[in-house]
Amino acid sequence: MRGAAAARAAAARVLERVAVDAAFADLALEAELAGRKLPPRDSALATELVFGTLRWQRYLDWILAPHAKRRLASLDARVLAILRMTAYQLVFLERVPSFAAVNDAVTLAPRTPGVKAFVNAVLRSFARRGAREREPAPPRDATEALATRCSFPTWLAARWVARYGPEDAETLMRAMNERPPLTLRANTLRTTREALVARLAAEEGLAARPTRWAPEGLVVGPGGAPGAWRAFAEGLFAVQDEASMLVARLLAPAPGATSADVCAAPGTKTTHLAQLMEDRGRVLAFDPQPARLARITEAAARLGIECIEPLAGTVEALAPGFREACDGVLVDAPCSNLGVLRRNPDVKWRREPAELAASAERQRRILDAAATMVKPGGRLVYATCSLEPEENDGVVAPFLAAHPEFRRDPPAEFPLPLDPDGTLRCLPHRHGTDGFTAVRLRRAITAP
C-alpha cells in the first residue's frame, strides 16, 4: 500500500487505537508513522486525518447518522473510525477526490460479511449530498446544538457558555478546532531569531515570521518535521507554543540565580528558564519518572545547556532538601489539558467534569510543596494549560489564604496584557496561542 492509501490506513489504525485502547493520539501516531516509514507528504496526510477527525468527531457523527441504517455507537470501532475519517475528508479537505477517499475506506473495512457493503453504501449516500444538505435538524437545546455544531462535549460547551457567553464560547470552540501553527523558540544561547529565520529559509525553504507576543518565538510555514532539520540537530531552536514561552518569561529568572521547575518533563520550559538565565546559575528539574527525566537531559544536551540538574522524584519528596533555596520556582502543574485541544483533540473526549476537582486537589499539594523551596523575596509561578477555574483561581486563592507570606506579584510590563489581578490568561480565540493560565507570586522578605 502506497501514497494516500497508506496514509489513510495509518490514520485508521491510530483512530482505532484511540477508541479501543484509550491510546494518546499523538503517541500512537508517532509510533505508527515510525513503523510504516511513510514519505513526508503521506505522513502529513495521516496526521491531518487523525487530528482533524478527532477535532470534529461529534459533528461528523451528527452528519453521518442519517446515512446509516445502524446506530453509529453500535458499530465496530474500526468501521466507525473509517466512516468518520472519510467523512472528514469529504467535508473539510477540498483537494481530496471523494472517489479515492470512499474507495480506500471500503478497502480498509473489515472483511466481515456485509461490512464492506455497509461502508460503501453509507459513504456513497453521504458523498451524494451537498454541503448544505448534510446537516440534519439540530438538537432543540441551544447548548447541545452549539456543542454538536462545534464538536465538543455538551458539559464543556455549557461551562464555556456560562463563563464567556454563547458567541464568545463558540468562537473559542472553533479556535480550539483549528490546526495549530508550528511555533519555534529560537535558542538565543546559540543564535538570534533573525538568524534562525534566514537559516530556515536557506536550508529548508521555509518562511517564518516573528510571534506576536514572545520575543524569541517564530511561526513557521508548513514544511515537514522539525526534528529532521539541520538547525534542530544543531540545537538552534525548540518546538514550543507561544503561550508556553510566556510562562517562563513570567518567572523572569536572572542569570546566576537558582531556579526550579518542579514538574519539568519533557523539559521545554526547563530549557527556556536556562536560556533566560544565559545558562548561568542552577536550574533544578524534578520529575518522578526517570524515562521522562532523560528527555530533559537529551534536550539540554542538544541545546548546549549545562546548568540544568535533573532530579528523579516528586516535588513533595524532593522539596525538603531545597527549603528556601530558590530565587524562583515554576509549578507547571499537571492538569486537564483542556487549554491545548488544538494539539490534543482526543483529550476533550476523555475528560469528565469530576476530574477537575481531582486535578485541583493534586495541584494544591504540589503548589504547597513547591512554595517551601522559595527564598524570602523569591518568586513562585503557578501555571496550567487549562482555562478551568477549579485548576487555576480555585487553587491559587486558597493557597494565598493559607500562606500570608505570599502575595500576587504581576510584572509592571509584560508582552501580553494581564488580567486586572495580574493573572496571565492566554486564549486561542483572542491571542492565537494555546490556552494557558499563570500567576506570579512573591514571598515576603520578612514574615507577615
Q: Would you tell me the crossing angle of helices 142-150 and 166-176 to the nearest 10 degrees?
A: 20
Beta bridge partners of 219: 183, 209
> What torsion, rounded to 10 degrees, do the Cα atoms 212, 213, 217, 222 define?
-40
Separation of CA 257 from chain center: 30
DSSP summary character for residue 253: P
Residues 6+ apart with CB under 8 A from 195: none
- Whether the Cβ atoms of residue 363 and residue 393 lie closer than 8 Å to each other: no
DSSP code of residue 293: H
Q: CA 24, CA 42: separation in Å to the nearest integer?
A: 21
Cis geometry, peptide bond prior to residue 266 (ω within 30 degrees of 0): yes
Query: Rounded distance, CA 426 to CA 30, Å?
Result: 28
Q: Which of 307, 335, 385, 426 is catalytic?
A: 385
Asked if residue 340 lies in contact with residue 435, where contact means CB atoms within 8 angstroms, the answer is: yes
Q: Say how far apart CA 283 and CA 363 lie, in whole Å.
A: 21
Note the Cα 342 to chain centre separation in Å: 6
Q: Which three cell numbers stand for residue 259?
A: 531556579
User: 339: closest CA among 244, 225, 221?
Assistant: 244
Q: Which of 327, 331, 286 is nearest to 443 (CA)?
A: 327
Pairing state between β 237-239 and 182-186? antiparallel
Q: What φ, ψ does residue 240 adopt, rounded to 5°?
A: -160, 135
Query: Catalytic: 385?
Result: yes
CA distance 155 to 153: 6
* Of 175, 171, 173, 165, the residue nearest 148 (C-alpha): 173
Catalytic residue annotation: 385
